[in-house]
Amino acid sequence: MKSAASESFLVRPWPEGSAAGSDLSEDGRGGLLLRTGAVLGVTLICLVVLRRWIAGGVCHCSARLDGKTVLITGANTGIGKETGRDLARRGARVVMACRDLTRAEQAAEEIRKSTGNGNVVIRHLDLASVYSVRQFAKDFMDSEDRLDILINNAGVMMCPKWLTEDGFETQLAVNHLGHFLLTNLLLPILKSSAPSRVVTVSSIAHIGGQINFEDLFFSRRPYSSLESYRQSKLANVLFSRELARRLKGSGVSSFCLHPGVIYTDLGRHVYSWFPLLGTLMSLPSLLLMKTPWQGCQTTLYCALTPDLEGRSGCYFSDCAEMETAPEGQDDAVARKLWEESARLVGLKETC
């Protein structure tokens, strides 16, 4: 009897490959797959939320522009091209002012085909040349009967220290002085087409910028491409603000904006200095930067939103009014910059 009791409590080894062992292994694999799926799901949701946040605001204005004329500088690529496409789709006559006419015609033809609007034309404009800006403005005034929206979009970013044919440092010349002269020369037709708007594309990079009146072109101090870029973008903000002050009551409104950090070829100079950086940034950039379509939304908001005239002189980002850096609110510096800019480009009469 005692022997039988001992036998009944004998613990035997678990048979290898038994059904219970197999079930336990499958449960472990199932749990691992479940946890992996959960992590991937949460990651995907986070990426979607991040992309929506980066995309920023969207211009929901449905206004038509039939019979209106829009002029966009630097419209053959990036946000300028997408701005032109949207405005052409709304029925506007779109004048693309570009330095490279071959690329401009290719972009214009693409816009014509995608929108069905054949009223998209190109004109040559080199913002780095005072002569070119004056010639462009003269030809425009002679051939066009109205100008409803002027979009100062073209720009260069952090290029090497180059001087224009007029002896100006390139970033300040293209980003600010060229647009300053162009806008002033086109004011008669803007006023005759009122209500009209001037939209100037600046950047959040104006924060920390400084207008160095003693050495605007880095003639006496070491050249910094970033410092130069910040100066030019601050100049955009101050120009737009002073333009609004001078045009008050004229029917012409002035707006300035930060389009966002956009995946375009604007940063080509930075990547050319550091090729490895360009390679490393290529994939993250697709995730962390706006597309050109997303980048043009605030430009469209400033150009199209009804009843925005009361905010003339203001600064916008992600389709909402934002406060500029303190440097961008200095009216004394804005007036001094206006006067110095007029002197540099030989503009004797301004608004």
Looking at residue 349, its pLDDT comes to 85
Looking at residue 174, its pLDDT comes to 98
Looking at residue 24, its pLDDT comes to 47
Q: How confident is the model at residue 9 (pLDDT cuts 50, 70, 90)?
A: very low
In the residue annotation, 271 being an active-site residue is answered as no
300/320 Cα distance (integer angstroms): 12
Is the pLDDT assigned to residue 53 strictly greater than 50? no
Q: How confident is the model at residue 3 (pLDDT cuts 50, 70, 90)?
A: very low
174-198 pLDDT per residue, tens: 999 999 999 999 999 999 999 999 9
Cβ(74)–Cβ(151) under 8 Å? no
261/72 Cα distance (integer angstroms): 20
Q: Nearest 10 degrees: CA dihedral of 48, 49, 53, 57?
A: 80
| Site of tokens 């040559």 | 124
Cβ(107)–Cβ(62) under 8 Å? no
Looking at residue 33, its pLDDT comes to 73
129-162 pLDDT per residue, tens: 999 999 999 999 999 999 999 999 999 999 999 9
214: helix, coil or strand? coil
Cβ(240)–Cβ(256) under 8 Å? yes
Percent of the chain with pLDDT over 90: 74
120/318 Cα distance (integer angstroms): 27
Is the pLDDT assigned to residue 52 strictly greater than 60? no
Is the pLDDT assigned to residue 291 strictly greater than 60? yes
Catalytic pick among 229, 263, 301, 315? 229
Q: What is the DSSP string of 251-308?
A: TEEEEEEE--SB-SGGGHHHHHH-HHHHHHHHHHHHHHSB-HHHHTHHHHHHHH-TT-
Is the pLDDT assigned to residue 46 strictly greater than 80? no
Strand arrangement, sheet containing 69-73: 120-124, 93-98, 69-73, 149-152, 196-201, 252-258, 315-317, 320-322
Looking at residue 295, its pLDDT comes to 95
Q: Model-level pTM?
A: 0.82
Render the burial of 144-170: b for 16+ CB within 10 Å, e for the rest: beebbbbbbbbbbbbbeeeebeeebbb
283/270 Cα distance (integer angstroms): 16
Look up residue 200 and give its DSSP letter: E
55-89 pLDDT per residue, tens: 579 999 999 999 999 999 999 999 999 999 999 99
Q: How confident is the model at residue 318 (pLDDT cuts 50, 70, 90)?
A: very high
